Every structure is written in structure tokens, then in C-alpha cells.
Amino acid sequence: MPTNWRARLPSPSVYYARELADLAPPSITGWARATCPFHNDRNQSLLVQVTGDRGSWRCDGSCGGGDLVGFHQRRTGLPFKAAVRDLVRRPA
């Protein structure tokens, strides 16, 4: 694994703004809505936490949820270690 990889992950606000074209401004609790890329979504069912460093997400549909690395895995189809490598290689 890359050295100190957790500290080198992109910040959730930067990452999700890049990944989700229609990301809405966050609520006071730091959660922001967007169209879910994992199902045929017409209602901005996805919630992502853009504050903090975990990048939690969940879908009001049936796509589940997780953290930023899990989101990137699902987005790219990469296994965990490859997803981390891909994330730390990108400019944050």
C-alpha cells in the first residue's frame, strides 16, 4: 500500500465535486445530495458527506453506502488496494 495513504486521499469535498456533476451545496450537517451514479436515479437519491475525512455516502435507493474508497471502488470496479492507489495518485 502507498505510504501514509489515508492522509493522501483527496478531501471528500474535492473528490465528490469532481465525480458528481450535480452535487448540491451541503446542509449544515455536511451532507450534500446528488444524482446517484449507481442506479437510474431521477431524484438525487445520493447523499455524500463532504465534511470530515471519511467521505461517507449512502443512497436512498437500494445502492447501499460506505466511505470514499468504497465509492471509488464502485465507480471504477477496482479492488480496494488498486482503488486506493488510484486515489492517491490523483492530484487532490
Residues that bind Zn ion in the complex, under the rule CB under 5 A: 36, 38-39, 59, 61, 63
- Rounded least distance, CB 62 to Zn ion, Å: 7
Indicate the residue among 63 and 78 with the shorter CB distance to Zn ion: 63
Of 39 and 75, which CB lies nearer to Zn ion in the complex structure?
Answer: 39
Q: Give me the least distance between CB of 1 and Zn ion, in Å please.
A: 29
Q: Which is nearer to Zn ion, 41 or 86 (CB)?
A: 41
The distance of Cα 54 from the centroid of its chain, to the nearest Å, equals 9
With both helix axes pointing from N to C terminus, report the angle between 68-76 and 80-89 in degrees, rounded to the nearest 10: 100
9 — alpha (psi -120 to 50), left (phi > 0) or beta? Answer: beta
Helix, strand, or coil (residue 32):
strand
Residue in this structure with the C-alpha cell 437500494, named with its chain if needed: 62
Task: Work out how close the CB of 57 gets to Zn ion at its nearest, in angstroms, rounded to a whole number.
Answer: 10
